[in-house]
Structure 1
Amino acid sequence: MKPKDKYHHGNLRNKLIAIATELLSEEGAHSLSLRKISQRAGVSHNAPYMHFADKEAVLAAIAEEGFRLLSAQVETAVDKVNQNTKQQLIAASSAYVNFALQHSNHLQVMFCYYNREKYPSLIEVSQASLDQLFKIVQAGQKDGTLIAGNPHEITKTIWALVHGVAAISIAYESKILLPEKNSAQEVVSTFVTLLLNGLAR
């Protein structure tokens, strides 16, 4: 079997994304190239161009996959708790940090700049991911759990806090933030609770 025949046309794209994601952990986004991806996949150097126009398109595909995975994890986590706003925010935040620790390769390209016109599906799924948190905030404002105010600003305040915990947990470990805590989830719960105590009526 020739290398170019190794994959069916339908699954080559997914395989290339998986390989590119692996290479991110080894060399970082700056060193990633379609040539390296094709070499690792064992296909011709031209094969990736059947699915991706350039390196940026590969990174956008990884980012889109990341947002879909993140949204699924957050949805699952939130569905397991009751309608209490605080518990939902803690669940969503913990799921975010868990995702970041499990998929740090995705995370490093998810928040780069991507042109809306070139990657509309990526922009759509990234916004849908943030909307999960936004809807919880809106519900909290409606039931009086959270203060009145711009829900977008409140949403991004919570997101920025949780993203910071995730980034530090990836770079070092979560215990560097609060050494007395036993897990990243305990750290997230503590920080979100402190933030909500400041936002609560």
Structure 2
Amino acid sequence: MTGPHGNLRTAFLDAAERALREGGPDRLTLRDLAREVGVTHAAPRRHFSNLQGLLDALAETGFARLHTALHTALAGADRGFAARIRAAMTAYIRFATDNAALVDLMYTSKHRPDATRIAVAAQAPFGLMNELIIEGQEQGELQAGAPEQIGIVLFATLQGIASLINGNIVKPDLLDGLVDAAADQFLRGNRPR
């Protein structure tokens, strides 16, 4: 639905993301979002059955944006595997630190039993990372074995760095150096024996 407010669904998602960033999901209400967008309190229900539906749509959108960020980083990286893994790691951590509240929502939502659409949306960015690991194995840059296991270690590293920065334990200006160190350690630790 478009009109004087443009695409209302997008306007609600943008407003929800701002509110999420400022106060977390517990402080979000459809009524407040409608007020912020400038429509009646019933308008959000035309797009989302309830607040959970809006949060789920926001999580789905988050995974799509993460996929785009990773895809763009890989498309712009040099052809060598080390450059590609660094580009993907940098893109992930920047996304996770620029969108901390959204990333929290994405991962907590993904594991709910009824969150099938979110789980499907998450497959795109995780699939891209899995393909990158397989690429590294095929090029002899990474050891053979289950790419999922190598991916879990990579994800834990990335999410750990993002959590340290988002939790104000590590200063954000150290991010580039941390990514370089993490990439070097990841490549060294997973080199074929």
Instruction: Give TM-score scaled by structure 1 length.
Output: 0.85
Task: Could you tell me which runs of 5 or more consecutive residues in structure 1 were left unpaired when the two chains were aligned.
Answer: 177-181
What is the letter of the counterpart of residue 189 of structure 2?
G
Match of 1:179 in 2: none
**How many residues align structurally?**
189
Aligned to 1:192: 183
Q: Deviations over 1:39-73 (max 9, x none)?
A: 21221111100000111111111112211211111
Contact 2:56 2:109 in 1 (8 A): no
Counting only pairs closer than 5 Å after superposition, residues 16-165 of structure 1 correspond to structure 2 as 16-114=12-110, 119-120=116-117, 122-165=118-161
Query: Which of 4, 7, 31 is residue 5 of structure 2 equivalent to?
Result: 7
Does the 8 Å contact 1:22/1:105 carry over to 2?
no
Shift, 1:141, TM fit: 1.0
Deviation readout 1:3-42 (Å, 9 max, x if unpaired): xx8525xx11110110111111222111211112112122
Q: Which amino acid aligns with 1:59?
A: L
The share of aligned pairs that are identical, in percent, is 26
Deviation at 1:102, TM superposition (A): 2.2
Q: 1:35 to 1:158 in 2, by over 3 A?
A: same
1:63-100 deviation per Cα after TM superposition (whole angstroms, max 9, x unaligned)? 12211211111111112223322221111010011112
Q: Distance in 1 between matches of 2:107 and 2:188?
A: 29
**Does the 8 Å CA contact 2:56/2:115 hold for their aligned counterparts?**
no
Q: Distance in 2 between matches of 1:104 and 1:195?
A: 23
Measured at CA, do residues 118 and 145 of structure 1 come closer, stay the same or move farther in structure 2, by a change above 3 Å?
A: closer
Residue 118 of structure 1 and its aligned partner are, at CA, apart by: 5.6
Gaps of 5+ in 2: none
Which stretch shifts more, 106-115 or 44-53?
A: 106-115
How far residue 192 of structure 1 moved from its aligned partner, in angstroms, is 2.2
Comparing 98-107 and 163-172, the one that deviates more:
98-107
Report if the CA contact (8 A) 1:90-1:192 is conserved: yes
TM-align CA RMSD: 2.0
Structure 1 residue identity aligned to 2:57: A
Aligned to 2:144, the other structure's residue is in SS state coil
Could you report, residue by residue, the CA deviation over 1:153-197 in whole angstroms, capped at 9, with x for unpaired residues?
111210111011112212216438xxxxx5412211201211221
CA distance in 1, matches of 2:116, 2:145: 32
Q: 1:116 to 1:85 in 2, by over 3 A?
A: farther
In the aligned structure 2, how far is the partner of 1:118 from the partner of 1:73?
A: 23
Structure 1 residues 59 and 25: alpha-carbon distance in aligned structure 2, compared to 1, 3 A threshold: same
Amino acid at match of 1:199: N
